[in-house]
Amino acid sequence: MVISRYLPEVSGAGKIFIALTAILLSTSCSERNKNFKPQSTVSTNILTSPHTHTNRLAREKSPYLLQHQHNPVDWFAWGEEAFAKARAESKPIFLSIGYSTCHWCHVMERESFENQDVANFLNQHFVSIKVDREERPDVDKIYMTAVQAMSGQGGWPLNSFLTPDLKPFYGGTYFPPEPKYGRPSFLQMLQQIAQVWETRRDEIASSAEDLHQRLASVTSQETNNNVTLSPAILYNASALFKREYDPRHGGFGGAPKFPRPSLPLFVLRNGVRLHDSESVKMVLHTCDRMAAGGMCDQLGGGFARYSVDAEWLVPHFEKMLYDNAQLVNLYLDAFLVSGEKQYAEVARGIIEYVLRDMTHPEGGFFSAEDADSEGKEGKFYCWTKSELSTLLTVEEFNVAVSYFGITELGNFLDHSDPHPLPNQNVLSIVHPELGEADKLLLVSAKKKMFSARAKRVRPHLDDKILASWNGMMLGAMARASAVLGDENFRNAAERNLAFIQSKLWDPRTKTLYHRWRDGERDSVQLLDAYSDLLAGAIDLYETTLEPKHLDFAVALADTMLAKFYDAKDGGFYQSAAGSTDLILRVKEDYDGAEPSGNSVATLALLKLGAITDRAEFKSAAEKTLRLLADRLQKLPQAVPHALLALDFFLEEPRRAVIVSNPADAKTKSLLRAVHSVYQPNKVVLGNAGAVEPFAKTLPTTDSPVVFLCTGTACQPPARDPETLKHSLK
């Protein structure tokens, strides 16, 4: 799967790639056979099982690594065991990065990593390492940047070749099992690389060192004080995004279409502030088309990762927790701005899907569901016309066929070998206008279809629990509980935070770890985990006013600053200081499918600074924005979430201070009123705990009151929800 091209340009990296490609292609297989004597090694430390092969990945917890535990490839996990072997035997490292719900990762596994000849060659001439990019985004970022810089494209599976000291010298994405389009097969390429490693190692080492220096240079950004952080940056970005808008199908840009919710969230925010109805309509139309398309699960709720076409019709069927968390916030904002209930129902449907299918019994949220079922992409979700004719009554069938646009030939081509499924239909809303009787028939038909689908073989569930993605979803659920008035959502957010604190937070050292699965946590610390959970904890505090949630947010922020912040140049490193398994410490500055840790941390610290009046939070956020200033000005499409942070930074935030007992029923009604008005650049706080000193000076009364304050000036206190809404507007 190809990713976007907003990664930093590494000057000269393309020339290195071209030179290495020439070296590789200049060495034919016949020359290799003539001149090259393969080394003979005996693989050690391989576990045994009833399977023909079981490798050391059987010890791991990552679902992706466990998918490869029975490959004949002698896989290592990322770590010193593999690095030491490569150094001791002077072998290049073959690094393969993917994730458990990655369709093309599955394809390459079937074609190459389960092939005994390929495995034999890899085992003899390389040290092979598997990495789950979702567990180690810091590792993925380094080698994705290298491959992107060399070849101009990237994606997963990501396959990179490294020297024993972990420096990349060649790489790409999916490699076919047979020669195609003038390119060698995967095995031929391995043979050529092994040959060049033996005969021209000095050139490889020199190129790898050169590339490493270039990567180090481009990733060591410095604060740019020449760019003024002004509203002009926001206006220019909004104008650019509007030019990229697809007026027919909605969305910004062409196929394949990713939601990237931070971008429409920014366009909506800018449109409301400037009374730009055109921008608002663009976002609402985008929300309409996404919700009506096949990317939205019309029966079970939730969204797939992206659409392969411009119409949002045919999805890549995998469902990711992080996409759905961000889409909850987008649809909540669309509801608040428009007042249209269908947007609230989409948000509700996403959350109900997550609570039904993606939640651990103790409250943690799972990571993803696969695109494939029984080896075929989309089989779980698609329908044939004949299948529906036997499942539904004639009346239900007629309504469903019209509403979902079901045809005899279908709208989705299954490309799986050797027996593709014919006549498949992805469900989308084609004819939404229904009379009252037909609406009842549609409800009945959808209920039967959902029940029948539940009996199919479900796609693989990636049940690891990541602090980062859980932070996104718990924050979305907390907001939804206030906006939609649903206590079940609040309870789910509370349970989730308790789960993360129990499994991944060490209160003694104030350390947050990244992944928990099957009773064990990892030992990895990542900026994304801290920043996303910080943002989620702030959202939960603002919807509950529980001081313990604010205390936790402050503890997270303090540790995040201590472990990841660059006090000299601003910004946050993706990995903690002292990481020994990385050749670079990188500051992520791209808001892709997931917003970067820097963008999330900046907005979260600005909010936390407004709530607590802690100067160090505000200072770190401002310095990070100055680090990102060039990107914000010259390439805003790369950092839409950072634009949200800049938008917050450029005006004094309004503070809604609720003076009362948080458990009071009247307080809850006031909280809901505060959150029912679209005003993204406000913060909500109580007058107890770690809040700013001014809030604690506000007078307490017998009944709950809300003070709307800017700086040290406050409006008269509001005691009823309607007055409060009027004051906010």
Q: Which fold has domain 13-219?
A: Glutaredoxin (3.40.30)
pTM of the model: 0.93
Phi then psi dihedrals of residue 574, to 5 deg: -70, -30
Looking at the DSSP bridge assignments, the partners of residue 659 are: 705
| 574 Rama sector, left if φ>0, alpha if ψ -120 to 50, beta otherwise | alpha
- CB of 219 closer than 8 Å to CB of 586: yes
Average pLDDT, the chain: 91
Pairing of strands 76-77, 127-132: parallel
Residue 42: predicted pLDDT: 32
Comparison of pLDDT for 34 and 98, the residue scoring more: 98
pLDDT at 34 over 50: no
Residue 404, amino acid: F
Residue 518 CB-density burial (10 A; 0-12 exposed, 13-18 middle, 19+ buried): exposed
pLDDT tens-digit profile of 282-298? 999 999 999 999 999 99
pLDDT tens-digit profile of 366-387? 999 999 999 899 999 999 999 9
How sure is the predictor about 22, in pLDDT bands with cuts at 50, 70 and 90? low
pLDDT tens-digit profile of 680-689? 999 999 999 9
Q: Residue ranges per domain, the chain?
A: 13-219, 255-462, 652-729
Residue 559: predicted pLDDT: 98
Residue 414: predicted pLDDT: 85
**CA neighbor of 458 nearest in space, from 370, 551, 564, 342:** 370
Report how far residue 325's alpha carbon sits from residue 298's, in angstroms, rounded to the nearest whole number: 18
pLDDT at 613 over 60: yes
CATH class of 652-729: alpha beta
Report how far residue 135's alpha carbon sits from residue 114's, in angstroms, rounded to the nearest whole number: 23
pLDDT at 393 over 50: yes
Residue 15: predicted pLDDT: 57
Q: Mean per-residue pLDDT for 248-258?
A: 95
Q: How many CB atoms lie within 10 A of CB 35?
A: 11
Phi then psi dihedrals of residue 296, to 5 deg: -90, 130
Q: Mean per-residue pLDDT for 691-706?
A: 89
